[in-house]
Amino acid sequence: MAGAWCLAATVANGAIILTTLVSFTGVGGKDPGASPYAGLVLGTDGNFYGTTSAGGSNNQGTVFRLTPDGNFTSLFSFNGTNGASPNAALTLAGNGVFYGTTFEGGVSNWGTLFLIATNGGFTNLFSFAGTNDLHQGANPGTPLVADGAGNFFGTANYGGTTNNIYLQSTPLGSGNGTIFKRAADGTVTVPFLFGDTNGAHPSGGLTLGKDGNFYGTTTWGGEGITGIFPGYGTIFKMNPDGTFTNLYSFSGNGDGGFIYAGLAQGPDGYLYGGAFNGGSQGYGSLFKISTNGDFALSHAFSFFESGSPYAGMTEGSDGNLYGTSYGYFAGVGSVFEISSGGVFTNLVLFNTANGAHPAGVLLQGPDNNFYGTTLSGGANGKGTIFKLSVPMPPVIKSISVTNAAVTLTWSTVAGQTYQLLYTTNLAENNWMILSKSAVASSGTMTATDPDASSAERFYSIVLLQ
């Protein structure tokens, strides 16, 4: 056989289905835990892992596991001394264990760094001391980022410099926040201290760019500071050696303001994020920025889109970005999709019964479905874990030829139905069914053309529903 050509096609009637997997119960009940701020991460064992900021045995937060078939296990309950109120997602290390942070608790109640194994084995690694110990920082609320050399970088929302530009006093600490580094030997250092015009209170965490630099956002600060007003937030870059560059300061008007969400780097190299407030309609915005600071708006949320994005976005297998909005000013949140060209689609509006106020980053699982959490809502009002099935154009993953047989493998979304067609002549509309329609049970599907003896065949993968 001289060659085989492959075409991918999709039918637009695929259903978008939201499924509630877990409704948290609080301190007790079948699914203990409450108020998950963070999204899920995938372990090396194929299970999902996450944190809740409250609930559990001591009502100070938990770490949990969820199997792909929906079996929920609470692995660990914080007690204050070993940490409290984990607001951040876990970070998977190369050896299969997870690193994490707690917003409160520890020796000085300024938060902790910890390690936890998939069986629940827990190690408290470090307690923050706020401004009392080398300006390390206080109240870390974002996931750690590994640099590939055994080091982990993160941000602390408070601490660092003693001046606090936030308008309201807080019992959780003072200062504008820090970027900290935990070296492979356990030493914690602070490459950067935030303050005023370079940003304050980094709520969104760090993103390791393809160029090896760290990128992030701050909720407050920037060049918009006037008098006692704390500014509208910033976007920044930091080299691994601590060299810091303020890439952009928000104005709070058309571009948005008060940035809680972190950044996601798209396939085009741009960094994408969201502003909680502002935009042309006042309900938040989505934006992109190049690594050298070229800024552009992608979308301004309207009242009917339940805006105010709180979490960063995730690149889907189709190359589009998927994210959630918190719904602070209108509604109780949504899940949306946006292309690199700025085409925006609201996929789901939450209604409290199926969850409310999603605050964590979405995760696309091995089955190509998206998994996430809501801070509140659900059957018990304590938050949920959900699965969202979104029709995805099938993409050829591999093609192999053995004698006259051609075997194709393509990406799927579990629960959706696909069919493989073929033709020997694209000039005629004579597509033939090669395989019966089948429902995908995982993230890929395979079919074989046992007798592709003609010089050329063309294949089309069709998403039926």
**Predicted local confidence at residue 5, as pLDDT:** 43
- Alpha-carbon distance values, 344 to 1, 326, 347, 352 (Å): 43, 16, 9, 23
Q: How many CA atoms lie within 13 A of 174 on its CB side?
A: 10
Q: How far apart are the first and last CA of the chain?
A: 33
Q: Are 158 and 184 in contact (CB under 8 A)?
A: no
Q: Give the pLDDT of residue 136.
A: 82
What is the DSSP track for 238-290?
Answer: E-TT--EEEEEE--SSTT-B------EE-TTS-EEEEESBBSTTSB-EEEEE-
User: Residue 340's pLDDT is what?
Assistant: 83
What is the per-residue pLDDT across 128-179, written as a single tens digit (0 to 9) for each? 986 555 468 899 999 999 998 899 999 999 888 755 544 443 434 478 899 9
pLDDT at residue 368, rounded to an integer: 93
CB neighbours (10 Å) of residue 395?
Answer: 16
Integer CA distances (angstroms), 68 to 43, 88, 325, 384, in order: 11, 22, 25, 16
Reading the chain (465 residues) residue by residue, the pLDDT tens digits are 334 444 444 443 468 999 999 999 998 888 899 999 999 999 999 999 999 999 999 999 999 999 999 999 999 999 999 999 999 999 999 889 999 999 999 998 999 999 999 999 999 999 998 655 546 889 999 999 999 889 999 999 988 875 554 444 343 447 889 999 999 999 999 999 998 788 999 999 999 999 999 999 999 988 866 656 678 999 999 999 999 999 999 988 889 999 999 999 998 999 999 999 999 999 999 999 999 999 999 999 999 999 999 999 999 998 999 999 999 988 999 999 999 889 999 999 999 999 999 999 999 999 999 999 999 999 999 999 999 999 888 888 888 888 878 898 988 888 888 988 888 888 777 888 988 889 998 889 999 888 877 667 888 888 886
d(CA 99, CA 352): 31
What are the DSSP E strand ranges found in 290-383?
295-300, 314-315, 321-325, 334-338, 344-349, 363-364, 370-374
Residue 233 CA to residue 290 CA, distance in Å, equals: 17
pLDDT exceeding 70 applies to what percent of the chain? 91
Please give the domain boundaries of the chain with CATH numbers for all domains: 3-10+395-463 (2.60.40), 17-389 (2.130.10.10)
Burial of 163 (0-12, 13-18, 19+ CB in 10 A): exposed
Stretch (H or E) spanning 20 = strand 17-23
Closest CA to 51 of 321, 359, 323: 359
For position 3, what pLDDT does the model report?
41
Identify the H or E element spanning 116.
strand 112-116
Can you count the helices (H) and strands (E) in the chain? Answer: 0, 36
Q: How far apart are CA 267 and CA 289, in angstroms?
A: 13
Q: CA–CA separation, 380 vs 383, rounded Å?
A: 8
Q: Is the pTM of this model over 0.85?
A: yes
Task: Report the distance separating Cα 70 and Cα 26, nearest Å.
Answer: 18
